[in-house]
Amino acid sequence: MGLRFTLLGRGRAANSLKRRPPLFRVRMARSWHAICNHSAVMRAWIPLLFVAVTSSARAQEPASASTSGTLGLESEATRYGTSYETVYQLSLLPSARLRLDALELSAILPLSASATAPTYCCRTTLGNATLGATYRGEGDGLRFWSEVSVSAPTSYWSDAHASSLAATAALLHDAGHYLPDTTTLRAGLGGELDVVRGLRLGASAGAHYWLRHAQPSHALVLPLDVHALLPWGQGWSARVLFRTLARVSDPEVLRERYLHEVTSALAHEWDGERVEVSLSVPLDESLRELEMLSLGAAYARRF
């Protein structure tokens, strides 16, 4: 049985690849038994998300009403293989954020570099510039947020194949930062609750709509997350996150619409600075056959 998770549109992106095999087609050795457990995933994150939404009406405003700015850089190194080449991808997300009381404005300019063996080395690309706004609140041990953002198709000025390589590597995180000839509209909400001392549980849900300018069809993608955060003394914390990515509007058969990933991360904060390292591993047979693995590092400085 084959799986096709199409990232490339027709037109300009497709023309650049017309002599190459499909980028994201793998052969599955067994049926997708993980999809049968998708209802259990839904039951895991919906109660936490319901608590976040219903509690936001009575939550207090954040104690500190101040203006601050944050500069950050997220990086991720991903390795995966196809039937004809191995891809080594470095994705960079430099960002600037401005906090105005409970409202946070953000700007992100994605960049990436890739090397492929043995066919070609190396490619760099400009991603899709992204602007967003997030509202944050807290009260009674609960933190909640809602956010909207849009990514403009600025990757138009980059090589379409390089953009596709970057989008594949970012598939389980946010492919809209790199998809060629695509505008991405996003909306999401989430919450995090102090359960006991040293343990926080959280969940978030979103909707990403891919407006493909080079073809008539569009796609709706739903990322669903649950996570556990374990903070301890002197600014250290550990986080474990489970993500399900559901594509609900593509013509693929139902069992090919869901992908899953587990991420573990370690972070340290001090004097307005924050560093985090992470490891992401896909759970589905199709992505494991690609031997996909991602290592991440992030740095942020608050002013």
Instruction: For residues 182-203, give the mean pLDDT.
Output: 96
Query: Is the pLDDT higher at 230 or at 123?
Result: 230
Using the predicted structure, report yes or no on whether residue 294 has a pLDDT greater than 50: yes
Quick one: pLDDT band at residue 9, thresholds 50, 70, 90? very low
Number of domains in the chain: 1
Check residue 293 and give its pLDDT.
Answer: 94
Q: pLDDT digit string (tens) for 88-124?
A: 999 999 999 999 999 999 999 999 999 988 877 788 9
Q: Which of 35-39, 153-157, 263-267 has the lowest mean pLDDT?
A: 35-39
Using the predicted structure, report yes or no on whether residue 85 has a pLDDT greater than 60: yes
Using the predicted structure, report yes or no on whether residue 43 has a pLDDT greater than 80: no
Instruction: For residues 136-148, give the mean pLDDT.
Output: 95
Check residue 256 and give its pLDDT.
Answer: 64
92, with CB counted inside 10 A (0-12, 13-18, 19+), is: middle
- Kindly write down the DSSP assignment for every residue of 201-247, as one continuous string: EEEEEEEEEEEETTSS--EEEEEEEEEEEEE-STTEEEEEEEEEEEE
Q: pLDDT digit string (tens) for 236-257?
A: 999 999 999 998 876 555 556 8
Long-range contacts of 29-38 (CB under 8 A, 24+ apart): 29/285, 29/289, 30/285, 31/1, 31/255, 32/255, 32/256, 32/258, 32/284, 32/285, 32/286, 34/258, 34/260, 34/283, 34/284, 34/285, 35/254, 35/255, 35/258, 38/244, 38/246, 38/258
Full domain range(s) for residue 145: 2-302
Check residue 250 and give its pLDDT.
Answer: 66
Using the predicted structure, report yes or no on whether residue 193 has a pLDDT greater than 70: yes
Using the predicted structure, report yes or no on whether residue 214 has a pLDDT greater than 70: yes
Using the predicted structure, report yes or no on whether residue 40 has a pLDDT greater than 80: no
Query: Is the pLDDT higher at 251 or at 196?
Result: 196
Quick one: pLDDT band at residue 292, thresholds 50, 70, 90? very high
Query: Is the pLDDT higher at 279 or at 41?
Result: 279
* Among 2, 3, 5, 11, residue whose Cα is nearest residue 182: 11
Q: What is the largest CA-CA distance in the chain?
A: 59
Average pLDDT along the chain: 81
Task: State pTM to two decimals.
Answer: 0.77
Query: Is the pLDDT higher at 46 or at 131?
Result: 131
CATH number at residue 86: 2.40.160.40
Instruction: For residues 115-139, give the mean pLDDT.
Output: 91
Check residue 117 and give its pLDDT.
Answer: 86
- Provide, rounded to the nearest whole percent, the portion of the chain with pLDDT above 90: 60
Q: pLDDT digit string (tens) for 14-36?
A: 343 333 333 333 333 333 333 33
